[in-house]
Structure 1
Amino acid sequence: DEDTSATNFLIRDEIMQKIVSKDKEPITPFIDQVKNIYKKFGTSSVLVMGGSGDYFEVADTVILMDSYLPHLVTDKAKEIIKNRKDLREIESYEDFRDITERIPLPSSIDPFRGRKKNVKTRGLNNIIFGTQNIDLSSIEQIVDSSQVNSIADIILCALQKTYIDGKNTLTTILDMVFEDIDKYGLDIISEFRDQHPGSYALPRKFEVAAAVNRLRSLKVLQVP
């Protein structure tokens, strides 16, 4: 979202490029990497813009929202860009770097407070995990407290099933848990699955990973 992103992360126009050369600016604007991300990882990007039209040049689809109704204006945007004289230089010709996989260490994810297991949730924004508080307030994709309940129990389930074993990457761990969910149902993550646990809604792997990454005690090994 343009409103919540740093301007120099999104774009540097030709005037700023002439004043502040690339060797003095460590940030490569997203506009110069967005195509590489799709080519390398198959990941699409959805941008909400209202102040800069530079992204029309790299966009595959342009949708105009008018009175809450969407209108496809890709052809019009491309025509405008074609007739514009743009002196901006592309700042990166390199492929987007590989994503480094990480292996969570089980000793750093402790659900106990003393001798008692202490895993609780508080609304949309907090998970109490052992002695740690996991702050979810910046994960805006979480929309229901039932998702938070599921996230807490997915992490606990991964520990109890030793999916978090100091060998599996976070990606592998989440794949294993979600495979169990697909096979046996969402209540497989509950310690009380013989009873109907209720209060569960399925999060995405991304929200679970975001919660794990916010655990202050977390220690990981990076896969070379």
Structure 2
Amino acid sequence: PRYQPLPQQRSTQSFSTANASGSTSQAASIIEAVEAGTTALLIDEDTAAANFMSRDRRMQALIAQEKEPITPFVDKVQQLYRDCGISTILVMGGSGDYFDVADTVIAMENYQPAEVTQVAQAIARQYPSDRVSEGGSHFGALTSRVILPASLNPSKGHRDVSLKVRDTDELRFGTEEVDLSAVEQLIEPGQLRAIAAAMVYAQRYYFDAQKNLSAVLDSVMKDIERQGLDVLSDRVVSDFSGFRRFELAAAINRLRSLKIRD
């Protein structure tokens, strides 16, 4: 929904890279969150890719749409809500392009919020951006992905399961290091320990090359809801902390050995 064919006509319908750009990473993270069942996105301008968020009229004039693979988020954000029912909350102070598509605008002054939607809309009318929408008429189709269970291998050497965590930034799953430093919702190492165990649990009981990722997340979270976090381990544990399906999905999606099929 966000990318045209890449240079050399590489399709984005089935695209993989070990060295993604900031805009590619952000686009993938949003689609992964949608796949995991999110109902809202929280995006901070400070940690967003500028060329992913918007493309002003001057840049559109310099680089024609057919030569630019990225569809700016500003042209997809309304479609995301209309077609998928997913809201977006943006924290930003550098671009007024979103005034044209925002349902609500809140300004902060001395840490106090003020609703300024009508003011922002008046400014948008007074100072039109003159940019051309590049988002088409619909958000776009989402592919249901099936994880191949053999690509989630927690073994290392003679150990059937080897799991280690480092603070809230990284977990080692077998021989693979999973970088979770940008998953800001993780606040406690016990969450990573539980997520690592949940990945093994999902690989053992639910990833069967038939169920899609969303269905597997449903099953794992239902088991935890019914039986508690202890269901994730063969032994009684006291160092697991609760997590959401979104953090589990983030860990699975950041596993470099992951292989999928449509």
Unaligned runs of 5+ in 1: none
Is 2:248 the partner of 1:213?
no
| 115, 128, 153: which one aligns with 1:85 | 128
Once the two structures are aligned, what percentage of the paired residues are identical? 44
Is 2:161 the partner of 1:121?
no
- Counting only pairs closer than 5 Å after superposition, residues 24-103 of structure 1 correspond to structure 2 as 24-103=67-146
- One-letter identity of the residue aligned with 1:21: A
| Partners of 2:208 and 2:166 in 1: CA distance | 28
SS in 1 for 2:88: coil
CA contact (8 A) 2:56 2:129 kept: no
Unaligned runs of 5+ in 2: 1-43
Is 2:190 the partner of 1:146?
yes
- One-letter identity of the residue aligned with 2:199: I
- Counting only pairs closer than 5 Å after superposition, residues 195-210 of structure 1 correspond to structure 2 as 195=236, 197-210=237-250
Residues 107-116 or 34-43, more deviating: 107-116
SS in 2 for 1:45: strand
Cα distance, 1:166 vs. partner? 1.4
Residues 41-50 or 198-207, more deviating: 198-207
| Partners of 1:184 and 1:38 in 2: CA distance | 34
Cα distance, 1:43 vs. partner? 1.0
- One-letter identity of the residue aligned with 1:220: I
Is 2:224 the partner of 1:186?
no
TM-score (norm 1): 0.90
CA contact (8 A) 2:97 2:129 kept: no
Q: CA RMSD in A?
A: 1.7
Structure 2 partner of 1:177: 220
CA distance 1:86–1:135, shift in 2 (3 Å): closer
Equivalent pairs counted in the alignment come to 218
Computing the radius of gyration from Cα coordinates, the structure with the larger value is 1
